[in-house]
């Protein structure tokens, strides 16, 4: 008996073509934003908010993508953003190109399974080749390499003109948060770098502050401007008049008792504050509110209280100062206690004026050192895009420091791998040969698009680039040519390692791995069934 499924079913070539078309459409959107001369996109959402950006992940996140295969690419960009922090545009473009070429192979009667195993093999070989032949240890290049990595990452962003200035800020910020974890590994938790945006002045007036800056002022004017040394309490509850919980009823028979209840409500908060102050706290940060009545206790005690601190900031401050975020005073016995061991320590807490705002600076924190980048810029769009650009660059510097290896940028790696994989393909006598050859061809899409975006002759440049890399791989004395990449401003080919256009090797490896996996995932699909809800069935 045939089961009747309500819905439509497409299978075989139709689905593949449809999926590839959807993915190409996504790639075409971000394509023009790749590279140092890439253009920005302006996205307007349904309530009219404008975002101007050329960060691949941000663009794709803002798009309302309906097609299921295209969604895979959007998630791919997000994954790249989480894992590496930069290279989101490249990963989408490579994945779409791999798909397009795989689709052509399937049309030519090559089974998808053969293509998939070919792609997997190509990816493994490519990653091995990057790690063994193309990557250079950072020690050889020194501190400049970090600055160059940051500049390469920012070259395609809005702040490219000031990239030297920002690269120095970024490297300084990342080095400032250096810490060694329990296993003795050196880590750079870039979450400890707080980015504050302040209107006014130009981008070059941005600066780095030693200490974690909170974008709020003191809760009352009577409080001191600086406290040193600071003992910090991080709270996650209200310091307002205590109200009864929902559903708790108090039945009053005598109206005179009402005043007592009110008084007790006020006293409870007072007792809580006294407990905090008694434990030795002289800085209190809370993510909720503090009553005006409660503020006077802090003013009298000469402590700084800050209300409505962002949860995220609270967590970072707690981590940096060694405090514990307290969400309730209740202990196991049902009494209310506050232990001084949950206080964090810092050398000083000061309120400073940055731009036109008051900010609370927490300096000399106990555990990890925290720094803040104060960005200045003309308007919100500019500042938001600067923040995204700095996030990418911070991630790249962190990855470079942690993995210690870099590769030449500007299409050098892709061209080199393309030549290498093409030669590798011709040595294989199996069906994977064609798939690997197509994989090699797909990688050239990066230098091609870079050249097209720079309004240069792509065909000629890519041909030159491949010629150099072919020489580098065939002649033993010409190995140094393997870092030849594009100079997009002049439209020539140059040695990008010497020119300082470099990226962390890990970034390239992840791009290849993620793009290949995404392409394979979509390539495996040969049937799409859309179910339609039956009438009469309620959710």
Question: Would you give the DSSP letter of residue 40?
Answer: P
Q: Dihedral sign, CA of 475, 477, 479, 484?
A: negative
Give the Cβ contact number of residue 515 at 10 Å. Answer: 28
Strands 405-408 and 136-137, by their bridges, are: antiparallel
Estimate to the nearest angstrom the gap between the alpha carbon of 238 and the chain centroid. 32
Q: Are 70 and 518 in contact (CB under 8 A)?
A: no
Distance CA 299, CA 223 (A): 5
Give the Cβ contact number of residue 145 at 10 Å. Answer: 24
Distance CA 170, CA 517 (A): 32
Helices (H), 67-107: 68-83, 88-107
Answer whether the bond into residue 426 is a cis peptide, omega within 30°: no
Helices (H) and strands (E) in the chain, counts: 18, 22
User: Catalytic site residues?
Assistant: 55, 88-89, 392
Distance CA 108, CA 62 (A): 37
């Amino acid at each position: 008996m045939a089961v009747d499924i309500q819905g439509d079913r497409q299978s075989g070539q139709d689905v593949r073509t449809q999926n590839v078309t959807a993915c190409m459409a996504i790639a075409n959107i971000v394509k023009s934003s790749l590279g140092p001369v890439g253009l920005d996109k302006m996205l307007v959402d349904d309530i009219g908010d404008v975002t101007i950006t050329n960060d691949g992940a941000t663009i794709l996140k803002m798009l309302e993508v309906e097609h299921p295969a295209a969604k895979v690419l959007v998630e791919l960009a997000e994954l790249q953003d989480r894992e590496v922090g930069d290279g989101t545009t490249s990963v989408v473009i490579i994945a779409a190109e791999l798909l397009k070429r795989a689709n052509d192979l399937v049309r030519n009667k090559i089974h998808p399974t053969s293509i998939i195993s070919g792609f997997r093999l190509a990816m493994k070989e490519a990653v091995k080749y990057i790690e063994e032949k193309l990557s250079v240890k950072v020690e050889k290049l020194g501190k400049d390499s970090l600055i160059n990595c940051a500049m390469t990452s920012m070259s395609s962003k809005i702040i490219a003109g000031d990239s030297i200035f920002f690269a120095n800020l970024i490297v300084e910020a990342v080095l400032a948060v250096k810490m060694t974890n329990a296993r003795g590994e050196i880590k750079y938790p870039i979450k400890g770098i707080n980015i504050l945006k302040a209107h006014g002045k130009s981008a070059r007036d941005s600066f780095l502050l030693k200490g974690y800056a909170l974008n709020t002022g003191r809760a009352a004017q009577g409080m001191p401007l600086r406290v040193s040394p600071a003992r910090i309490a991080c709270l996650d509850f209200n310091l307002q008049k205590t109200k009864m919980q929902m559903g708790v009823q108090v039945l009053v028979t005598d109206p005179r008792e009402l005043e007592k209840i009110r008084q007790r409500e006020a006293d409870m908060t007072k007792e809580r504050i006294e407990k905090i102050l008694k434990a030795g706290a002289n800085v209190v940060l809370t993510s909720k509110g503090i009553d005006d009545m409660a503020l006077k206790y802090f003013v009298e005690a000469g402590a700084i209280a800050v209300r409505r601190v962002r949860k995220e900031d609270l967590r970072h401050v707690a981590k940096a100062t060694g405090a514990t975020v307290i969400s309730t005073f209740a202990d196991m016995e049902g009494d209310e206690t506050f232990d001084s061991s949950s206080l964090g320590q810092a050398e000083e807490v000061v309120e400073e004026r940055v731009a036109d705002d008051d900010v609370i600076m927490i300096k000399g924190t106990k555990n990890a050192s925290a720094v803040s980048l104060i960005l200045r810029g003309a308007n919100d769009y500019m500042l938001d895009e600067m923040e995204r650009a700095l996030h990418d660059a911070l991630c790249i510097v962190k990855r470079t420091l942690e993995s210690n290896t870099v590769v030449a940028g500007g299409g050098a790696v892709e061209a080199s791998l393309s030549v290498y994989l093409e030669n590798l393909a011709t040595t294989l006598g199996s069906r994977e040969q064609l798939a690997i050859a197509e994989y090699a061809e797909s990688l050239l899409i990066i230098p091609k698009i870079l050249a097209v975006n720079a309004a240069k002759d792509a065909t000629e440049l890519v041909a030159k680039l491949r010629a150099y890399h072919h020489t580098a791989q065939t002649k033993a004395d010409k190995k140094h040519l393997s870092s030849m990449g594009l100079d997009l401003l002049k439209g020539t080919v140059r040695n990008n390692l010497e020119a300082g256009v470099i990226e962390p090797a890990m970034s390239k490896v992840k791009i290849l791995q993620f793009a290949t996996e995404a392409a394979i995932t979509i390539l495996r699909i040969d049937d799409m069934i859309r179910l339609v809800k039956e009438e009469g069935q309620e959710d």
